[in-house]
Protein backbone atom coordinates (compact mmCIF):
# COMPACT_ATOMS: atom_id res chain seq x y z
CA UNK A 1 0.00 0.00 0.00
CA UNK A 2 1.48 3.34 -1.04
CA UNK A 3 1.98 6.01 1.59
CA UNK A 4 0.39 9.32 0.88
CA UNK A 5 -0.04 12.61 2.72
CA UNK A 6 -3.38 14.15 3.44
CA UNK A 7 -3.69 17.85 4.20
CA UNK A 8 -7.00 18.47 5.87
CA UNK A 9 -8.72 21.80 5.99
CA UNK A 10 -12.32 22.64 6.57
CA UNK A 11 -12.90 23.75 3.01
CA UNK A 12 -10.97 21.35 0.86
CA UNK A 13 -9.07 18.11 0.77
CA UNK A 14 -5.80 17.63 -1.04
CA UNK A 15 -4.79 14.07 -1.81
CA UNK A 16 -1.34 13.56 -3.25
CA UNK A 17 -0.01 10.15 -4.26
CA UNK A 18 3.19 9.09 -5.88
CA UNK A 19 1.72 8.71 -9.35
CA UNK A 20 -1.52 10.57 -9.02
CA UNK A 21 -2.76 13.93 -7.75
CA UNK A 22 -6.30 15.12 -7.21
CA UNK A 23 -7.30 18.43 -5.63
CA UNK A 24 -10.67 19.61 -4.41
CA UNK A 25 -11.14 23.19 -3.27
CA UNK A 26 -14.00 25.50 -2.46
CA UNK A 27 -13.75 28.50 -0.16
CA UNK A 28 -10.47 30.18 0.81
CA UNK A 29 -8.50 28.30 3.42
CA UNK A 30 -8.39 29.92 6.86
CA UNK A 31 -6.18 27.36 8.54
CA UNK A 32 -4.44 24.19 7.47
CA UNK A 33 -3.90 21.23 9.78
CA UNK A 34 -1.60 18.61 8.36
CA UNK A 35 -2.43 15.00 9.08
CA UNK A 36 -0.30 12.13 7.91
CA UNK A 37 -3.06 10.00 6.44
CA UNK A 38 -0.85 6.94 6.36
CA UNK A 39 -0.65 7.15 10.18
CA UNK A 40 -4.41 7.60 10.51
CA UNK A 41 -5.01 4.58 8.32
CA UNK A 42 -2.31 2.58 10.13
CA UNK A 43 -3.89 3.25 13.54
CA UNK A 44 -7.37 2.31 12.36
CA UNK A 45 -6.46 -0.80 10.40
CA UNK A 46 -4.15 -2.05 13.16
CA UNK A 47 -6.65 -1.63 15.98
CA UNK A 48 -9.49 -3.10 13.91
CA UNK A 49 -7.49 -5.99 12.50
CA UNK A 50 -8.36 -9.65 13.08
CA UNK A 51 -5.10 -9.94 15.04
CA UNK A 52 -6.72 -7.86 17.82
CA UNK A 53 -9.49 -10.48 18.08
CA UNK A 54 -12.21 -7.91 18.69
CA UNK A 55 -10.42 -6.33 21.70
CA UNK A 56 -12.72 -7.74 24.37
CA UNK A 57 -11.70 -6.61 27.85
CA UNK A 58 -9.62 -9.22 29.65
CA UNK A 59 -8.49 -11.09 26.52
CA UNK A 60 -5.16 -11.44 24.69
CA UNK A 61 -6.63 -9.38 21.85
CA UNK A 62 -7.12 -6.25 23.90
CA UNK A 63 -3.64 -6.74 25.38
CA UNK A 64 -2.23 -6.42 21.86
CA UNK A 65 -4.19 -3.20 21.40
CA UNK A 66 -2.93 -1.88 24.76
CA UNK A 67 0.68 -2.49 23.74
CA UNK A 68 0.12 -0.70 20.45
CA UNK A 69 -1.36 2.38 22.15
CA UNK A 70 1.39 2.40 24.79
CA UNK A 71 4.06 2.30 22.09
CA UNK A 72 2.41 5.18 20.27
CA UNK A 73 2.23 7.30 23.45
CA UNK A 74 5.91 6.57 24.03
CA UNK A 75 6.85 7.45 20.44
CA UNK A 76 4.90 10.71 20.65
CA UNK A 77 6.61 11.57 23.93
CA UNK A 78 3.75 11.74 26.43
CA UNK A 79 4.29 11.55 30.18
CA UNK A 80 2.60 9.12 32.56
CA UNK A 81 -0.42 10.04 34.67
CA UNK A 82 -0.20 11.00 38.36
CA UNK A 83 2.06 8.53 40.18
CA UNK A 84 1.80 5.73 37.60
CA UNK A 85 5.13 4.26 36.53
CA UNK A 86 3.80 3.31 33.08
CA UNK A 87 0.97 4.38 30.80
CA UNK A 88 -1.23 1.67 32.31
CA UNK A 89 -3.81 2.26 35.00
CA UNK A 90 -4.43 -1.35 35.97
CA UNK A 91 -7.29 -2.57 38.15
CA UNK A 92 -9.52 -5.59 38.69
CA UNK A 93 -13.30 -5.88 38.49
CA UNK A 94 -15.96 -8.56 38.46
CA UNK A 95 -17.75 -9.38 35.24
CA UNK A 96 -21.42 -8.93 36.13
CA UNK A 97 -22.53 -11.66 33.74
CA UNK A 98 -19.96 -14.40 34.42
CA UNK A 99 -19.01 -13.30 37.97
CA UNK A 100 -15.35 -13.85 37.03
CA UNK A 101 -12.68 -11.39 38.09
CA UNK A 102 -10.98 -9.57 35.23
CA UNK A 103 -7.76 -7.58 35.18
CA UNK A 104 -7.94 -4.55 32.90
CA UNK A 105 -6.03 -1.37 32.11
CA UNK A 106 -6.80 2.12 30.92
CA UNK A 107 -3.95 3.50 28.80
CA UNK A 108 -3.17 7.10 29.80
CA UNK A 109 -0.68 9.62 28.44
CA UNK A 110 -0.20 13.21 29.56
CA UNK A 111 0.89 16.40 27.81
CA UNK A 112 1.64 18.94 30.51
CA UNK A 113 0.26 22.43 30.04
CA UNK A 114 2.32 25.58 29.86
CA UNK A 115 0.62 28.25 31.97
CA UNK A 116 -2.28 26.34 33.51
CA UNK A 117 -0.80 22.90 34.08
CA UNK A 118 -3.02 22.22 37.11
CA UNK A 119 -6.14 22.46 34.95
CA UNK A 120 -6.94 19.33 32.94
CA UNK A 121 -8.70 18.49 29.69
CA UNK A 122 -9.39 14.83 28.88
CA UNK A 123 -9.34 13.58 25.29
CA UNK A 124 -10.64 10.01 25.25
CA UNK A 125 -12.08 7.02 23.43
CA UNK A 126 -12.63 3.40 24.42
CA UNK A 127 -10.36 0.78 22.90
CA UNK A 128 -12.33 -2.32 23.89
CA UNK A 129 -15.02 -4.00 21.82
CA UNK A 130 -17.01 -7.27 21.80
CA UNK A 131 -14.32 -9.84 21.03
CA UNK A 132 -15.03 -13.15 19.32
CA UNK A 133 -18.56 -14.54 19.26
CA UNK A 134 -19.59 -17.62 17.34
CA UNK A 135 -23.08 -17.26 15.92
CA UNK A 136 -25.01 -19.76 13.84
CA UNK A 137 -25.04 -18.85 10.18
CA UNK A 138 -22.10 -16.42 10.45
CA UNK A 139 -18.72 -17.38 9.00
CA UNK A 140 -17.02 -14.37 10.59
CA UNK A 141 -16.85 -14.46 14.38
CA UNK A 142 -14.55 -11.47 15.07
CA UNK A 143 -16.27 -8.26 16.09
CA UNK A 144 -13.52 -5.92 14.90
CA UNK A 145 -15.11 -2.68 16.13
CA UNK A 146 -13.58 -0.43 13.50
CA UNK A 147 -16.04 2.40 13.93
CA UNK A 148 -16.83 1.39 17.52
CA UNK A 149 -14.35 2.57 18.60
CA UNK A 150 -11.05 2.09 16.78
CA UNK A 151 -12.00 5.27 14.92
CA UNK A 152 -12.16 7.22 18.18
CA UNK A 153 -8.84 5.83 19.42
CA UNK A 154 -7.32 6.80 16.08
CA UNK A 155 -8.53 10.33 16.82
CA UNK A 156 -6.97 10.30 20.28
CA UNK A 157 -3.59 9.15 18.95
CA UNK A 158 -3.65 11.68 16.11
CA UNK A 159 -4.60 14.56 18.41
CA UNK A 160 -1.91 13.54 20.90
CA UNK A 161 0.73 13.83 18.21
CA UNK A 162 -0.73 17.09 16.90
CA UNK A 163 -0.82 18.82 20.28
CA UNK A 164 2.60 17.47 21.24
CA UNK A 165 4.10 18.93 18.07
CA UNK A 166 2.23 22.22 18.45
CA UNK A 167 3.36 22.57 22.10
CA UNK A 168 1.01 25.50 22.76
CA UNK A 169 -1.50 23.94 25.16
CA UNK A 170 -1.90 26.09 28.27
CA UNK A 171 -3.90 23.42 30.07
CA UNK A 172 -2.65 19.88 30.66
CA UNK A 173 -4.17 17.35 28.27
CA UNK A 174 -4.82 13.82 29.50
CA UNK A 175 -5.17 11.35 26.62
CA UNK A 176 -7.04 8.20 27.66
CA UNK A 177 -7.92 4.95 25.92
CA UNK A 178 -10.57 3.53 28.23
CA UNK A 179 -11.15 -0.18 28.70
CA UNK A 180 -14.41 -1.92 29.58
CA UNK A 181 -16.80 0.58 27.97
CA UNK A 182 -18.80 -2.23 26.41
CA UNK A 183 -19.18 -3.85 29.85
CA UNK A 184 -20.68 -0.76 31.44
CA UNK A 185 -18.16 2.12 31.31
CA UNK A 186 -15.89 0.16 33.65
CA UNK A 187 -12.61 1.88 32.77
CA UNK A 188 -13.88 5.44 32.84
CA UNK A 189 -15.68 4.87 36.15
CA UNK A 190 -12.41 3.62 37.64
CA UNK A 191 -10.55 6.62 36.25
CA UNK A 192 -13.12 8.98 37.76
CA UNK A 193 -12.63 7.54 41.25
CA UNK A 194 -9.00 8.66 41.32
CA UNK A 195 -9.26 12.28 40.22
CA UNK A 196 -10.11 15.65 41.70
CA UNK A 197 -12.99 16.41 39.37
CA UNK A 198 -12.92 20.12 40.16
CA UNK A 199 -9.54 20.38 38.41
CA UNK A 200 -10.92 18.84 35.21
CA UNK A 201 -12.17 21.55 32.89
CA UNK A 202 -13.58 19.44 30.06
CA UNK A 203 -13.94 15.94 28.68
CA UNK A 204 -13.64 15.45 24.92
CA UNK A 205 -14.77 11.94 24.04
CA UNK A 206 -14.67 10.47 20.52
CA UNK A 207 -17.04 7.67 19.59
CA UNK A 208 -17.79 6.26 16.14
CA UNK A 209 -16.38 9.02 13.94
CA UNK A 210 -15.96 7.06 10.70
CA UNK A 211 -19.20 7.63 8.77
CA UNK A 212 -21.05 10.57 7.23
CA UNK A 213 -23.71 11.92 9.61
CA UNK A 214 -27.37 12.38 8.77
CA UNK A 215 -26.65 16.12 8.70
CA UNK A 216 -24.40 15.61 5.68
CA UNK A 217 -20.66 16.04 4.98
CA UNK A 218 -18.47 18.25 7.18
CA UNK A 219 -20.66 17.79 10.24
CA UNK A 220 -20.62 16.01 13.57
CA UNK A 221 -23.02 15.79 16.48
CA UNK A 222 -22.47 16.15 20.21
CA UNK A 223 -24.17 14.31 23.06
CA UNK A 224 -25.64 16.28 25.95
CA UNK A 225 -25.47 19.55 24.04
CA UNK A 226 -27.95 21.30 26.34
CA UNK A 227 -26.22 20.21 29.57
CA UNK A 228 -23.38 22.77 29.43
CA UNK A 229 -22.13 25.49 27.11
CA UNK A 230 -19.33 23.20 25.84
CA UNK A 231 -21.10 22.69 22.50
CA UNK A 232 -21.72 26.41 22.05
CA UNK A 233 -18.00 27.06 22.51
CA UNK A 234 -17.20 24.49 19.84
CA UNK A 235 -19.75 25.97 17.45
CA UNK A 236 -18.31 29.45 17.96
CA UNK A 237 -14.77 28.23 17.27
CA UNK A 238 -15.94 26.51 14.08
CA UNK A 239 -17.69 29.57 12.64
CA UNK A 240 -16.46 30.37 9.16
CA UNK A 241 -14.71 27.02 8.74
CA UNK A 242 -17.33 25.21 6.71
CA UNK A 243 -17.67 22.53 9.41
CA UNK A 244 -20.75 22.37 11.65
CA UNK A 245 -21.52 20.77 15.00
CA UNK A 246 -25.10 19.81 15.85
CA UNK A 247 -26.83 18.60 19.02
CA UNK A 248 -27.38 14.85 19.29
CA UNK A 249 -30.46 14.06 17.15
CA UNK A 250 -31.04 10.64 18.72
CA UNK A 251 -32.58 11.55 22.06
CA UNK A 252 -34.42 8.26 22.46
CA UNK A 253 -31.13 6.35 22.58
CA UNK A 254 -29.91 8.23 25.70
CA UNK A 255 -26.41 8.31 24.20
CA UNK A 256 -25.03 10.89 26.63
CA UNK A 257 -25.04 8.21 29.34
CA UNK A 258 -23.90 5.33 27.14
CA UNK A 259 -20.31 6.39 26.47
CA UNK A 260 -17.35 7.17 28.70
CA UNK A 261 -18.09 10.89 28.86
CA UNK A 262 -20.85 9.99 31.33
CA UNK A 263 -18.41 8.84 34.01
CA UNK A 264 -16.84 12.31 34.15
CA UNK A 265 -20.16 14.10 33.65
CA UNK A 266 -21.53 12.40 36.75
CA UNK A 267 -18.71 14.15 38.63
CA UNK A 268 -19.75 17.53 37.22
CA UNK A 269 -17.17 17.72 34.45
CA UNK A 270 -18.52 19.18 31.16
CA UNK A 271 -17.75 15.97 29.31
CA UNK A 272 -19.39 15.22 25.97
CA UNK A 273 -19.04 12.80 23.06
CA UNK A 274 -18.40 13.74 19.44
CA UNK A 275 -19.79 11.33 16.84
CA UNK A 276 -20.57 11.29 13.14
CA UNK A 277 -22.44 8.02 12.73
CA UNK A 278 -26.17 7.94 11.86
CA UNK A 279 -26.67 5.33 14.55
CA UNK A 280 -30.41 4.92 13.94
CA UNK A 281 -29.74 3.37 10.53
CA UNK A 282 -26.19 2.09 10.92
CA UNK A 283 -26.22 -1.54 9.76
CA UNK A 284 -22.78 -2.30 11.22
CA UNK A 285 -23.27 -1.23 14.85
CA UNK A 286 -22.26 -4.15 17.11
CA UNK A 287 -22.05 -6.43 14.10
CA UNK A 288 -19.17 -8.46 12.65
CA UNK A 289 -19.46 -6.19 9.62
CA UNK A 290 -17.97 -3.23 11.55
CA UNK A 291 -14.69 -3.48 9.63
CA UNK A 292 -12.14 -0.85 8.64
CA UNK A 293 -13.11 -1.10 4.97
CA UNK A 294 -16.60 0.25 5.75
CA UNK A 295 -15.28 3.58 7.07
CA UNK A 296 -14.53 6.85 5.32
CA UNK A 297 -10.96 8.01 6.01
CA UNK A 298 -11.81 11.55 4.94
CA UNK A 299 -14.62 11.75 7.50
CA UNK A 300 -12.28 10.56 10.26
CA UNK A 301 -9.59 13.08 9.31
CA UNK A 302 -12.05 15.97 8.99
CA UNK A 303 -13.59 15.14 12.36
CA UNK A 304 -10.17 15.10 14.01
CA UNK A 305 -9.51 18.50 12.45
CA UNK A 306 -12.83 19.85 13.68
CA UNK A 307 -12.22 18.62 17.23
CA UNK A 308 -8.78 20.24 17.26
CA UNK A 309 -10.11 23.56 15.99
CA UNK A 310 -13.32 23.48 17.99
CA UNK A 311 -11.68 22.78 21.35
CA UNK A 312 -8.67 25.06 20.78
CA UNK A 313 -9.88 27.87 23.07
CA UNK A 314 -10.57 25.39 25.88
CA UNK A 315 -7.17 23.73 25.61
CA UNK A 316 -5.45 27.10 25.40
CA UNK A 317 -7.20 28.36 28.53
CA UNK A 318 -9.33 31.06 26.94
CA UNK A 319 -12.70 29.38 27.48
CA UNK A 320 -13.92 27.36 30.44
CA UNK A 321 -17.16 25.41 29.84
CA UNK A 322 -19.89 25.60 32.45
CA UNK A 323 -20.20 22.59 34.73
CA UNK A 324 -22.54 19.94 33.40
CA UNK A 325 -26.23 19.89 34.32
CA UNK A 326 -27.06 16.31 35.20
CA UNK A 327 -30.55 14.88 35.09
CA UNK A 328 -30.48 11.26 33.99
CA UNK A 329 -34.21 11.28 33.34
CA UNK A 330 -33.74 13.56 30.32
For residue range 137-162, what is the model confidence (pLDDT) as tens digits? 777 899 999 999 999 999 999 999 99
Summary mean pLDDT of the chain = 90
> What does 88-107 look like in DSSP terms, one character per residue?
EEEEEEE-TTT--EEEEEEE
**What average pLDDT score do residues 96-110 get?**
95
Cβ count within 10 A of residue 26 = 11
Whether this model's pTM surpasses 0.75: yes
| 136-145, 232-241, 265-274, 308-317, range with the lowest pLDDT | 136-145
**What average pLDDT score do residues 124-144 get?**
90
Residue 306 CA, chain-centre distance (Å), reads 12
Plot region of 16 (φ>0 → left; ψ -120 to 50 → alpha; else → beta):
beta
Task: Name the band, by pLDDT with cuts 50, 70 and 90, for residue 329.
Answer: low
The pLDDT score that the predictor gives to residue 330 is 53
Tens digit of each residue's pLDDT (9 = 90 or more) over 278-301: 999 999 999 999 999 999 999 999
Contact present, 218 and 212 (Cβ < 8 Å): no
Nearest-10 Cα torsion for 260, 263, 265, 271: -30
Tens digit of each residue's pLDDT (9 = 90 or more) over 2-54: 333 444 443 343 333 333 333 333 443 334 456 777 889 999 999 999 999 99
The pLDDT score that the predictor gives to residue 140 is 86
The CA–CA distances, whole Å, from 38 to 154, 228, 271, 309, 324 equal 12, 36, 30, 21, 37
Amino acid sequence: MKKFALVICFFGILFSCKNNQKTTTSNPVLEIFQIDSSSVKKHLYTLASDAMEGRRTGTPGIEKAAVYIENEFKRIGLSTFQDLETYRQTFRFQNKRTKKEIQASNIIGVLEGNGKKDEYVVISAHFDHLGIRQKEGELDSIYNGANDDASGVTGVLTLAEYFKNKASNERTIVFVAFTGEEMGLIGSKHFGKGINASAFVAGINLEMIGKTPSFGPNTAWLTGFERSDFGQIIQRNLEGTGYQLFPDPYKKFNLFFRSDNASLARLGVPSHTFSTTPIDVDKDYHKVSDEAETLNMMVIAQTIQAVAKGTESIINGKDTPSRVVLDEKK
